[in-house]
Amino acid sequence: MLEPPTHQPSTDPAAAWRLILDRLHGRIDETTLELWLEPLHAVAHQDDTLLLAGPPHLVRWARDRCTPLLTEVAQSCRVAGAIAWIEASAGELAAAPPTRHAGDRRSSATPPAWATIPGQAGAAGDRRMAEPAEPEALQVGDPIDPELTFETFVIGHSNRLAHGAALQVAELPATVFNPLLICGPPGTGKTHLLHAIANYVAQTAPHLHVHLCTSEGFVNDFTGALRNRRIGDFKDHLRGADVLLVDDVQFLAGKDKTEEEFFHTFNALERSGAQLVLTSDQPPHELGTLSERLRDRFASGLVVEVERPDDALRRIYVARRAAQELETPAERANLSHLADRVTDGIRTLEGAILSTIAYRSLTGRELDQALVDDVVRRLYPAKKAKGARERPTIRKVQDVVCAAFELDHDTLVGPGRAAAVSWPRQIAMYLARTHTEASLPAIARAFNRRDHTTVMHAVSRVTEQIDRDPTLHSQVAGLVDKLR
């Protein structure tokens, strides 16, 4: 029987960690690497275990999301067989050797006295030890989208006040507007502003613990913590946040236990001086299905509304996306007509842009005025007649793909990775992105994926294959016809 290879790690934990960081380039996005992993310190390397230390908010975030990947990389480059974690104070970390720069050769073979790996003498009573936890119990919150920043947010009359309030909160957390509630119709940039705040704080004040989630994510994480008997860890994580950002709080309604937990979390964070930023589709006084005490809390700070984008904002947005996606001035000019034809939110406008580009790719047609008119007529009529066809739902997309590939729904949205399942799943994600009004996170949830970057990868891959394969062109076009 073959035995697994043993690791022969360096006695220098800093060198081992530098090698792991080098191997991570290309496997995760550079923003995550720079903001969340490079600031960590490797402080001990004993019994084939590499001990990583950092401020509590960094350790919790990296431990809950990156332990499996870091362990895999450590094993593949033969520097360690396991990863362990410990939270450290600023003073303790100041004495530990940095691992950010490959040129730093200071040895750390002798670990600090406080750097004790779990399972060794004295570790059991150390309350700071952060052993790898069960992912479903502690993987709370949503990842921050590095593309959704204040720089990429298009400002117009309809959202200028909300943008200004969000920027001030990001610059001075818990100082100016607290809580801040941004309300308005779907697709008007509320989620973008939440991520922009998170990105800004993460870059300018990395010592702060930022927690971002949807209300649905809060519900799922709360019920998961109850199920796994980790409610204490859940509360510690949420109430240890310096900045809490929650999207679509209206969906907390009707869930009594969750509403109560959120109410107590809100109060605890307010008492601790944390910044709270919330979004909803309506102002607090119109959220009648929520408890009165929550509505009162939401209305206790600044409430700003965002409206559907005006003509100028839509034109700016389409011009920016055209510059990103199209090469010729003629195609960009033709795409600009969408700004006058699709007058709903930015999300709907983005769907129109993606649909137009997809139709060009699927049909081989030139992106001219006729193609734009065709897309708008099929999918975005200015006024729908009574009984007119609505845009397909994600479930409709899934059903069409399941029928085409002879799969059942549970298999399509399940964890299977075989090509016979993963390829239809990617096509379904592509169609959901280009032919429904659903956001990336909503599509990810519909396919039981925690991270919407999976959807982004699927859209990119299918788009690339469609451009290369005429047969796939016609197959996907046939699926599009069945969605109508």
Amino acid at 34: E
pLDDT, residue 100, reads 42
217, 118: one domain: no
User: Which of 284, 305, 326 lies at the terminal end of a domain, its last residue?
Assistant: 305
pLDDT, residue 383, reads 39
Q: How far apart are CA 246 and CA 142, in angstroms?
A: 10
pLDDT, residue 140, reads 57
pLDDT, residue 111, reads 52
**pLDDT one-digit tens code per residue, 13-30:** 888 898 899 888 877 767
The DSSP secondary-structure symbol of 33 reads I
Q: Name the CA radius of gyration of the chain, rounded.
A: 25
**pLDDT one-digit tens code per residue, 260-279:** 999 998 999 888 889 999 99
Residue 16: CB atoms within 10 A of its CB come to 23
Which CATH number fits the domain that encloses residue 46?
A: 3.30.300.180
**38 in a domain, yes or no?**
yes
Amino acid at 123: A
422, 320: one domain: no
Which CATH number fits the domain that encloses residue 401?
A: 1.10.1750.10
**pLDDT one-digit tens code per residue, 359-371:** 887 788 888 888 8
DSSP string, 390-418: PPPPHHHHHHHHHHHHT--HHHHTSS--S
185, 171: one domain: yes
Amino acid at 47: D
**pLDDT one-digit tens code per residue, 43-94:** 888 878 888 888 776 787 788 778 888 988 888 888 888 898 888 766 666 6
Q: Note the pTM of the prediction, 2 decimals.
A: 0.51
Residues of the domain holding 359: 311-379
pLDDT, residue 196, reads 95
User: Which of 351, 379, 407 lies at the terminal end of a domain, its last residue?
Assistant: 379
455-476: burial string, b at 16+ Cβ within 10 Å, e else: bbebbeebbebbeeeeeebeeb
Domain total for the chain?
A: 4
Q: How far apart are CA 119 and CA 257, in angstroms?
A: 37
108 pLDDT exceeds 80?
no
User: Which of 278, 305, 332 lies at the terminal end of a domain, its last residue?
Assistant: 305
| Helices 394-405 and 470-483, packing angle to 10 deg | 130
